[in-house]
Amino acid sequence: MVKNESDIIAQTLKSAVRWSDFIYVYDNGSTDGTWEKVIELAKDYKQIIPYKQDNQPFADSLRSEPFNYYRAKSVQGDWWCKLDADEIYIDNPRVFLSKIPKKYEVVWAASFEYYFTDKDLALYEQNPSLYADDVPVEEKCRYYINNWSEPRFFRYKESLVWEKSLAKNEAPMPSGSGESYNKRIRLKHFQYRSPQQIQKRIDTRIEAMKNGSFLHEKQKNWKGKIENCIDIDVKNFSYDKDYIPQSWKERVVEASKFLYDAHDGKYVINEEAIPKIPTSPSILSKSINRILRIPNQVKKIVLSF
């Protein structure tokens, strides 16, 4: 699922083709050339399959469309991945998944979240070209924390049901999957890459935020919670109804609060700061509720695992 990710889409797709058999790309109304880059990349990489481009109001359940359109290509036991346009895997999924016993059907990812810091800002002000779109994202984004985890892979079986929901942000995964694996696959998530990209991200999401999506962005104290590694997505979730971020400057954080990626392969999962992996299929839907970033009194879960 992509929208206005032209600065990173080539990097993430080229990374994913190393381990995937098919990448189905659904563009949710890009206006910055993202879709055109996908089309061009598909000419060189047979795994990349452009599904379609439209501008439907965003909902996680839109991902169900390419799943249902292409599911006939799957056989029992194939792995499907919910891949975001700004993610690059640390662990090779093909290797990681090959070691998982057959009884497990869901794999959670540990997301190492990268942020734009005050040190990045100082470098940017000295030389903006260091954060240009053509600079590899792993070179310019170095400060991170592990403060999020959610299911990313599921084994295919014919009984899976994934329907598009009219309610915002429901049905982020198909229903009918079984037990979750007890180890997490690691990935890098580059949400905040440069002032120009962050501003585009905010502008792209304003209407969706007004309509009830991306509520985790609607927090006046977002910066303080991120810096103090307070999980804004799980228990006691709250958001500011009338607040909409306006400027990329609201997303600049203090580097001293984060870890520095020295490109030495050392990434430690912080189990205390992320949602727990459910111990049985019957409670997976409760974990999904936490992923949705929706207060219990506002939304109900339609999944039944």
Domain presence at residue 167: yes
Give the integer Cα–Cα distance in Å for 150 and 305: 15
Instruction: Tell me how many domains the chain contains.
Output: 1
Which residue range(s) make up the domain with 136?
A: 85-291
Helical pair 34-44 and 9-16, crossing angle rounded to 10 deg: 30
pLDDT mean over 135-150: 96
Domain presence at residue 9: no
Domain presence at residue 214: yes
Domain presence at residue 263: yes
The amino acid at 237: F
Alpha-carbon distances, residue 41 vs 14, 86, 210 (angstroms): 9, 16, 33
Give yes or no for a contact between 141 and 171, defined as CB atoms under 8 angstroms apart. no
Domain presence at residue 269: yes
Q: How confident is the model at residue 296 (pLDDT cuts 50, 70, 90)?
A: very low
- Please give the mean pLDDT across all residues of the chain: 88
Domain presence at residue 117: yes
Domain presence at residue 35: no
The pLDDT assigned to 273 comes to 87
Domain presence at residue 121: yes
Model confidence over 217-242: pLDDT tens digits?
A: 888 888 888 888 655 444 445 678 88
- Phi, psi for residue 277 in degrees, rounded to 5: -75, 130
Is the full-model pTM beyond 0.85? yes
Q: What angle (nearest 5°) sits at the alpha carbon of residue 85, between those of residues 134 and 148? A: 115
Cβ neighbours, 10 Å, residue 300: 10
Q: Is beta strand 143-155 parallel, antiparallel or unpaired with respect to 259-260? A: antiparallel
The pLDDT assigned to 227 comes to 83
Residues 6+ apart with CB under 8 A from 205: 213, 214, 217
